[in-house]
């Protein structure tokens, strides 16, 4: 381990980390944006889900390197190729959680919302999706952590990421560089994961271990009233 290499190359390490973070974070977010409508459809019209699940299992089995390569003719050796590949993998882990989260909302809660005069869309946005948040974020966490790690494979086809430190370190026979790459990838994944835990904490004020600040209004009144039910499922 040559510690002095780190400060003298810090600007490059930081640039690669930023690039890796971009690839690893944007992809699951696009995956989430696609999963939400698809998940709502699958939870509402159940026949849609089994074929989707088969499709997801098949796509998830494709090795990342092979998928990147298949996308090269269409998108070249660019960020887009890696982002599309990682988005597809993220979709595979996020969508099942969106469906599970929505199906996990107790029927009594939905009936209560309907009885209070909520229309289907308002009920979905203000009751069902908030209650499904912990499960959806659990899927998003897996998607982000995997994507941050898999983004480094993109370096094999020449798309810049922390994988550069692995490949350059190998060519120069210089383990320090590889250690730094491993450390930065894992640190990046852990930081992203912790941020998502924080997001979940902020979005689910009714969850266990939270004391509401006196006088503050709960964000989702109905959801708060049903806190005991939710705690069982979270």
Partner 1 sequence: MSFFYYAWDWVTTDANWHGSGSIPQQLVAHLGYSGLPLLIAALIAVPAGVLIGHTGRGAVVVVNVANAWRAIPTLGLLILLAVYFGFTLFTWLIPLVVLAIPPILVNVYEGVAGVDPGVKDAAKGMGMTPWQQVVKVEVPIALPLILVGLRTGAIFVVATATIAAYIGLGGLGRFIIDGLANSQYGPVAGGALLVVILALLVLGLFSLLSRLLVPAGLRGTGRDNQ
**Interface with partner 1 in residues 131-150 (CB under 8 A):** 142, 145-146, 148-150
Among 38, 40, 186, 203, binds partner 1 (CB under 8 A): 186
How many other C-beta atoms are found inside a 10 Å radius of the C-beta of residue 168?
16
Residue 189 CB partners (closer than 8 Å, separation 6+): 24, 144, 145, 148, 149
Among 28, 101, 163, 205, binds partner 1 (CB under 8 A): 163
**Interface with partner 1 in residues 97-116 (CB under 8 A):** none
Please name the residue that has the structure tokens 């696009």: 30
Please name the residue that has the structure tokens 């971009």: 22
Closest CB to partner 1 among residues 58, 221: 58
Among 88, 113, 132, 153, binds partner 1 (CB under 8 A): 153
Among 124, 157, 223, 234, binds partner 1 (CB under 8 A): 157
What is the C-alpha to C-alpha distance for residues 192 and 53, in angstroms, rounded to an integer? Answer: 27
User: What crossing angle do the helices spanning 129-150 and 10-44 adopt, rounded to 10°?
Assistant: 140
DSSP 210-224: -PPPTTPPPSSHHHH
How many other C-beta atoms are found inside a 10 Å radius of the C-beta of residue 112?
16
Among 33, 44, 55, 57, binds partner 1 (CB under 8 A): 57
Candidates 31-39, 59-67, 79-87, 217-225; binding stretch for partner 1 (CB under 8 A)? 59-67
Q: At its nearest, how many Å lie between partner 1 and the CB of residue 90?
A: 12
User: Judged by CB under 8 A, does residue 60 bind partner 1?
Assistant: yes
Q: At its nearest, how many Å lie between partner 1 and the CB of residue 167?
A: 7
Which of helix, strand or coil describes residue 174? coil
Angle at 137 between CA 134 and CA 104, to 5 degrees: 45
User: Judged by CB under 8 A, does residue 155 bind partner 1?
Assistant: yes
- For the chain, how far is it from start to end, CA to CA, in angstroms? 43
Residues that bind partner 1 (CB under 8 A): 53, 57-58, 60-67, 69-74, 92-93, 96, 142, 145-146, 148-150, 152-153, 155-157, 162-163, 165-167, 169-170, 173-175, 178-179, 181-182, 185-186, 189-190, 193
């Amino acid at each position: 381990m040559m510690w002095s290499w780190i400060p003298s190359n810090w600007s490059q390490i930081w640039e690669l980390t930023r690039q890796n973070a971009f690839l690893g974070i944007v992809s699951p977010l696009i995956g989430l944006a696609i999963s939400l409508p698809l998940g709502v459809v699958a939870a509402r019209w159940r026949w849609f889900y089994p074929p989707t699940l088969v499709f997801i299992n098949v796509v998830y089995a494709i090795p990342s390197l092979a998928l990147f390569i298949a996308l090269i003719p269409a998108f070249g050796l660019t960020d887009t190729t890696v982002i599309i590949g990682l988005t597809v993998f993220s979709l595979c882990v996020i969508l099942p959680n969106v469906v599970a989260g929505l199906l996990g909302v107790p029927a009594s809660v939905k009936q209560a919302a309907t009885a209070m005069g909520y229309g289907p869309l308002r009920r979905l946005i203000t009751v069902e999706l908030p209650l499904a948040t912990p499960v959806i974020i659990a899927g998003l966490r897996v998607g982000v952590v995997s994507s941050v790690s898999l983004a480094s494979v993109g370096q094999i086809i020449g798309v810049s990421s922390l994988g550069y430190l692995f490949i350059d370190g190998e060519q120069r026979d210089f383990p320090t560089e590889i250690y730094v790459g491993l450390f930065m990838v894992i640190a990046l994944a852990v930081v992203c994961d912790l941020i998502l835990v924080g997001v979940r904490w902020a979005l689910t004020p009714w969850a266990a271990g939270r004391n509401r600040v006196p006088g503050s209004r709960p964000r989702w009144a109905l959801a708060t009233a049903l806190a005991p039910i939710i705690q069982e499922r979270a």
